[in-house]
Amino acid sequence: MDLAEWKERVDALWADTQVDDEGRIRRMRALAATAPHPALGAFELGGAHDSGGQEAEADVEYSRATAAGLDTVDPTRAAQMVIQHASTLRNLGRTDEAIAMLRAAPAHPAVGDAPAVFLALALHSAGRCDEALRLALETIEPTLPRYNRSVRAYAAALTGD
């Protein structure tokens, strides 16, 4: 199966609202086995486990996708995976790893400011609430039509900078 056909099948599975989590994982496992590259299959299988609440299994698959070179095979999916994997790590209580991963996340138009949003969540989970709120405010500040200077000042005051 070529890449385009494989991606169509993966997209169709994600769009299927009739399939339950276990069915999605089972079907994704079969699709992952036919992936044009192991990194692609591991990423999608990780996402299926993640979506199904199986974070430990998702972590294994996301790690496999990274090791198999997802960043060179599909930079868009790699950018998405950083967010998904870090969120999984946060849910597993591994907040320091999640924070490090999100801080190192490459900029990519497919994810926009999502790394900063998930970093704020990870910081909050780590008990670093002022830092989390500051990041959230700094992320949203450029989109505000007014009050930018005030928001920047309030954000900086949260952490004493």
CATH code of the domain in which 81 resides: 1.25.40
What span, in angstroms and rounded, lies between the C-alpha atoms of 108 and 52? 26
Please indicate, yes or no, if residue 20 is contained in any of the structural domains. yes
pTM over 0.85, yes/no? yes
Q: Does residue 161 surpass a pLDDT of 80?
A: no
Query: Mean per-residue pLDDT for 87-100?
Result: 98
Instruction: Share the mean pLDDT of the chain.
Output: 96
Report d(CA 129, CA 104) in Å as an integer: 20
Q: Which domain holds residue 70?
A: 3-96
How many distinct structural domains can be found in the chain?
1
In a domain, 50, yes or no: yes
Identify whether 149 is part of a domain. no
State the Cα–Cα distance between residues 48 and 42, nearest whole angstrom: 10
In a domain, 53, yes or no: yes
55, pLDDT greater than 90: yes
Burial state string for 35-50 with b = 16 or more CB within 10 A and e = fewer than 16: bebbbbbbbbbbbbbb
Residue 32 lies in a domain: yes
Flag whether 135 is in a domain: no
What is the pLDDT at residue 93? 97
Please tell me the predicted confidence (pLDDT) of residue 160: 87
- Asked, for residue 102, whether it belongs to a domain, the answer is no
Q: How confident is the model over 4-22, as pLDDT tens digits?
A: 999 999 999 999 999 999 9
DSSP 64-94: HHHHTTHHHH-HHHHHHHHHHHHHHHHHTT-
